[in-house]
Structure 1
Amino acid sequence: MSHSIKVALAFVGLLVGAGFASGQETIQYFLSFGYWGFAGTIVAGLAIVVVGTILFQQGSYYLADDHSAVFTSVSRPIVAGFMDIATMFTLFSIGFVMVAGAGSNLEQQFGFPTWVGAVIMTLALIASGFLDVDKLTGVISAITPLLIIAVIGALMVTIVNMPSDFGALNELSLQNSSAAGVGNSWFLSALNYAALCILVGVSMILVIAGSELNPGKAGLGGLIGGIVFAIMLVILAFVIFANMEGVFGADLPLLKVFDNMHPAVGVAISLIIYLMIYNTAVGMFYGMARRLSASKPQRFRPIYFTVVLIGFALSFIGFADLLSWVYPVIGYLGMAVIVVMVYAWATHRDEIKEETQRRERLTALAGQALDPGEDDLTSTQRAEVEKLATSSHIDDNELWHTVQEGVAADLDADSECDFELTDAPALDPSSEHYDGAPSPSSGSTIAWEAYDSIYGSESPESPESPEKKG
């Protein structure tokens, strides 16, 4: 469950920076339609819950290292190419929109020139290039609860100071400009917003889910994260609507809400919003660099640093202007991607379920093999491992090694288990001695001889007399 919670918080963290940390998105996509905007938040929230859950399952199912690996697996080359281009355009566009938002944040709150906030954000993004996916997921997950607490706090204050004339607030809300390209339809605006959020997060969603072995747990994380985001969206819309008189015309209306409560609160919230903008920006640039360096992983950092610096240069166009035309375009691209991904999931959901059960059993067998307090695997169990691995769409030896890496990390974190990851560098991706999955000998499916020293096996082919390890 802890893995699912971590995934859920990362999911929320990826979306809130682009989705509503500033509050400007909520006004343009929802509150510009007045009361109907609240119906829009519900529609958008439900769509994000469903599609988010599906994407997390797919990323885990394919053990994705980048989004293109999943796109090419679920669609024809020309469709996969379109989705890849749409995603890359989104990652880069939202990346520099977020850097622009960072500049607007510090300008509105502290009066700094916009370049100051943009430079600080760019330096933070560059430093993040030295983190791996798991560490980056942890950073994003740790920051997310801050905004959740802040929005709930704003809701409580708003309820205590409930406005008396909602009709006047509705009339004022209708004076806001809607996002470009959605016409006068609150429903289309809601779908466009949901698709925008999904396309914004799809690359890092698939990458984060790809590090989660169990599609079921990954999907649960997506479900929980989607529900949290949907609830937050409805709350945020209400908070901004109820405070419309004080935030009308602001670049970052959510920050204005808190600033109007008390200047000290505004300062604290501006920093939280800044961190949430960072969450989305780092997800965009990181996912893009992972894709561009897929064939040459050693070039990840140079590519990452380059796209961050280009994003910084483009951020000076201006936050509100960028948001008003970039976001709707991305939303429509996202609708096409969602149709393809949902269809692929619907036609392969039975295979995903079977793979989930397969990996759960492999995890149990790996736990037995690695835990010093358990019996070694018998030859019958090793044959079961080979059968399960062969049945998977993932390479046999690669799957077993990946399962063992996950189990080894969990056992190492368990204070009641005698297993230590330092004694098994072959299963520790951060070790300088890590070489990935060992090659099996001719005619074998699994490289058992390479694992025997880790298991402490002396006679792996004698199932009748398994020896106790440890």
Structure 2
Amino acid sequence: MNGTELRLSLQIAFTYIGTVVGAGFASGQEILQFFTLLGPMAYPAILLAVALFAWVGVQMLMLGHKLRARSYREMTAYLFGRKLATLIDVAMMVMLFFVTVAMLAGVGALFEEQLHLSFQIGVLLTMVLTYLTILRGMKGIMAANTIIVPLMLFVVIMIFIQSFMQTEYKPTFAPTTTIHNYSWILSAVSYAALNLGLAVSVLVPMGGEMKNTKVLQLGGLLGALGLGIMLLGAQYAMSTRMPLIAEYEVPMGFLSSTFSPLMQGVFIVALWGEIYSTLIANVFGLRSQLTNSRNSTQSSLITIVILTAAFFVAQIGFSNIVHYLYPVFGYVSLLLLLLLLWPRRIAFKK
């Protein structure tokens, strides 16, 4: 593999990571709920989730390549058939939209609470940057993640190192949870399914744009490896502060607050970057579903409509709606995951 192919593989890996991690990962709430509360069994659960990220992520990229897909509509039609695929597509678009709303609201809250700036300023600035990024299509998304994801990796590794140096690690079980009956397997599969469901909006069209299958395979594997490093590092750091850390809405924020002011500043930047990376992936996925046209004017108009609609919805807050929609989206994602894992023979186009 030459230098160009390796660079493309790394861009795919960074885009994969940036699509999966978001406000839930950055805040630490996802890691806490899915893994840390499992106690020591969090580690095999993370390894299983990473294995699924590697296997299914590569499958999505390869299916996108095979179908020359411009959106995940081609993949759902291939897996489910045209009629059922329409229902799946609608369900995924609804969820992508409300996750987009949640990301914008999260950005506003970040500017308001951490930077003491206006909620609206944070949302509008991020909307403009999102629009400019998506104008460049998949190249813009990959370029943005090439900058953001290394910073996120750096922050998680630094939090891990400082936690390792400050605290003698003692394996901690959840105070109210008994680990038995392989509940860690369900937790790992649920986490992977939910996040892969969101990632499909970018992985499938990204696979459709790439010609080299080796680049796609290596990119998918490196992306899963990067996610594994981030999950293990964050899990270790959070487990050293159990059970106190379980009381915080933003566990990773609590961890960063115990370090230097510089570390806090870098964490805020990384948190914004993780929200932004998920936001551009969601808006791109929605735009791809709503238009098959290569007309740049039409695509730009649809992007503006999506962002504007999400902006207005974000003003009133939709935490309850998102709370009820996430389980539904999880079921859809789990079905998608099972179908992707189902053995099948795929003949790739040359």
Question: What TM-score results when the alignment is normalised by the length of structure 1?
Answer: 0.66
Displacement of 1:157 after TM fit?
0.6
Distance 1:187 1:112 in 2: 42
Deviations 1:296-329 (A, max 9, x none): 7442111111111222223345587666544333
Equivalence map 1:191-206=2 (5 Å): 191-206=189-204
Distance 1:317 1:258 in 2: 30
Deviations 1:138-183 (A, max 9, x none): 112221110001111111111101246554xx446x59xxxxxxxx
Relative to structure 1, the CA distance from residue 16 to residue 28 in structure 2 (aligned partners, 3 Å threshold; closer, same or farther) is same
Tell whether the 8 Å contact from 1:246 to 1:257 is kept in structure 2 after alignment.
no
Whether 2:75 is the aligned partner of 1:70: answer: yes
Distance 2:313 2:160 in 1: 35
Whether 2:11 is the aligned partner of 1:6: answer: yes
Distance 1:49 1:319 in 2: 32
Which of 110, 135, 140 is matched with 2:145 structurally? 140
Tell whether the 8 Å contact from 2:64 to 2:207 is kept in structure 1 after alignment.
yes
Tell whether the 8 Å contact from 1:101 to 1:319 is kept in structure 2 after alignment.
no
Relative to structure 1, the CA distance from residue 142 to residue 17 in structure 2 (aligned partners, 3 Å threshold; closer, same or farther) is same
Deviations 1:183-238 (A, max 9, x none): x9443232121111111110111111211012332122112111221232122111
Relative to structure 1, the CA distance from residue 115 to residue 146 in structure 2 (aligned partners, 3 Å threshold; closer, same or farther) is same
Relative to structure 1, the CA distance from residue 164 to residue 206 in structure 2 (aligned partners, 3 Å threshold; closer, same or farther) is closer
Determine the structure 1 residue equivalent to 2:155: 150
Determine the structure 1 residue equivalent to 2:3: none
Tell whether the 8 Å contact from 1:22 to 1:273 is kept in structure 2 after alignment.
yes
Whether 2:220 is the aligned partner of 1:215: answer: no
Tell whether the 8 Å contact from 2:27 to 2:253 is kept in structure 1 after alignment.
yes
Distance 1:331 1:57 in 2: 23
Determine the structure 1 residue equivalent to 2:97: 92
Distance 2:234 2:209 in 1: 31
Equivalence map 1:147-296=2 (5 Å): 147-163=152-168, 166-167=171-172, 170-171=173-174, 174=176, 185-244=183-242, 247-295=245-293
Distance 1:88 1:269 in 2: 30
Which of 45, 48, 52 is matched with 1:47 structurally? 52
Which of 35, 42, 45 is matched with 2:40 structurally? 35
Determine the structure 2 residue equivalent to 1:368: none
Relative to structure 1, the CA distance from residue 322 to residue 161 in structure 2 (aligned partners, 3 Å threshold; closer, same or farther) is farther
1:148 match: secondary structure: helix
Deviations 1:404-425 (A, max 9, x none): xxxxxxxxxxxxxxxxxxxxxx
Question: What TM-score results when the alignment is normalised by the length of structure 2?
Answer: 0.87
Relative to structure 1, the CA distance from residue 11 to residue 282 in structure 2 (aligned partners, 3 Å threshold; closer, same or farther) is same
Distance 1:238 1:323 in 2: 29
Deviations 1:380-430 (A, max 9, x none): xxxxxxxxxxxxxxxxxxxxxxxxxxxxxxxxxxxxxxxxxxxxxxxxxxx
Distance 2:262 2:214 in 1: 43
Tell whether the 8 Å contact from 2:37 to 2:174 is kept in structure 1 after alignment.
no
Determine the structure 2 residue equivalent to 1:303: 302
User: Percent identity among equivalent residues?
Assistant: 23
Whether 2:344 is the aligned partner of 1:347: answer: yes
Relative to structure 1, the CA distance from residue 321 to residue 247 in structure 2 (aligned partners, 3 Å threshold; closer, same or farther) is farther
Displacement of 1:63 after TM fit?
1.8
Deviations 1:52-109 (A, max 9, x none): 0110111122221111123223441123223322321232122112112222333442
Which moves more between the two structures, 103-112 or 284-293? 103-112
Q: Which runs of 5+ in 2 are unaligned?
A: 1-5
Distance 1:324 1:243 in 2: 27
Tell whether the 8 Å contact from 2:50 to 2:228 is kept in structure 1 after alignment.
yes
Displacement of 1:7 after TM fit?
0.7
Which of 55, 64, 76 is matched with 1:59 structurally? 64
Distance 1:147 1:52 in 2: 20
**Greater Cα radius of gyration, structure 1 or 2:** 1
Determine the structure 2 residue equivalent to 1:395: none
Larger helix share, 1 or 2? 2
Taking only aligned residues, the RMSD between alpha carbons, in angstroms, comes to 2.5
AA partner of residue 337 (structure 1): L
Which moves more between the two structures, 332-341 or 127-136? 127-136
1:110 match: secondary structure: coil
Relative to structure 1, the CA distance from residue 52 to residue 212 in structure 2 (aligned partners, 3 Å threshold; closer, same or farther) is same
Determine the structure 2 residue equivalent to 1:336: 335
Q: Which runs of 5+ in 1 are unaligned?
A: 176-183, 360-470
Tell whether the 8 Å contact from 2:68 to 2:207 is kept in structure 1 after alignment.
yes
